[in-house]
Structure 1
């Protein structure tokens, strides 16, 4: 799952959302340095990733990208799931995506003092370029693919090729999202009931 999905699965809890956003930038046991509420968000993020990585829909979606990008297929799969979530009218009807994105940016700005430096640099561009809304457009996905290609040390495939895979298999990939996300929501609700402090 990518940024939009992790934020959405925080269900409007500011501390959980912040932890969910920064989790990839908190290594090992460093999560223990944060407040209990932020810790819950970090650990939820890790649980979501574990569930997603082993789900049959994710494995099927990755197969479309593997011939082109190999082990980086998971990165592109995470991004495309955000695209389909952004366009899911059952979860973001009307202008709710724009409103949700602004809510998320406001939450992160409020928690700016605790943001890891590496995430803070990314958040600057995320907010300025409105990534969370941009994931909903094909142009936004292409720009995100370009960013991955620029940052990935061992990825030499031009973004046009990965985007062509996305375009050619658009509806099949959308079907994998539809299979995954309701089960992901159920997983998060059960996880929260078992692990979050009341």
Structure 2
């Protein structure tokens, strides 16, 4: 799962949200420098990542990306899941998505002093370019894919390649999301 899903599956708890959002930027024993509730968010993020990777629907979705994207398929798939969540009418209308995204940005701003330095830079771009809201747009997904491609050390294709996979398999990937997300929601409710 990517940023939007991690924020959403924090169930509006500000400290859990911070922990979930920064988890990939907190290494080793650094986790113990954070308050207990943020540590819980970090653990929840990691548990969700593990659950996501093992889920049969995710494995099928990654297999769609694998021929052209290799091991990066999972990274692209995480972003794709955020697209389907942002467009899932059982969780968001566009005004509700906009309101939710604004609240997440507010929580991160209020806790800016706790954010790891590199995530502070990421957050600046996330907020300025409104990543979380733009996941609902296909152009937002293309931009996210472009960012992944720019940062990837061993991915040698333009963003058009994974985006073409996303476009070509749009309905099938949506089916994978719809199979996966209710299970992820139930799993995360048990992590609270």
- TM-score norm. by structure 1 comes to 0.96
Determine if the alignment matches structure 1 residue 68 to structure 2 residue 68.
yes
Residue equivalent to 1:84: 84
Other structure's SS at 1:95 match: helix
Deviations 1:31-78 (A, max 9, x none): 111001111100000000010010001100001110111010100000
Residue equivalent to 2:42: 42
Residue equivalent to 1:54: 54
What is the deviation of 1:28?
Answer: 1.6
Residue equivalent to 1:196: none
What is the deviation of 1:94?
Answer: 4.5
Summarize the alignment of residues 69-148 of structure 1 with structure 2, pairs less than 5 Å apart: 69-148=69-148
Deviations 1:167-191 (A, max 9, x none): 0000000000000000001001112
Q: CA RMSD in A?
A: 0.7
Structure 2: distance between partners of 1:74 and 1:94: 26
What is the deviation of 1:93?
Answer: 2.4
Count, aligned residues? 192
Where in structure 1 are there 5+ consecutive unaligned residues? 193-198
Deviations 1:113-153 (A, max 9, x none): 01001111110000001000111000000011000000001
Where in structure 2 are there 5+ consecutive unaligned residues? none
Structure 1: distance between partners of 2:190 and 2:122: 31
- TM-score norm. by structure 2 comes to 0.99
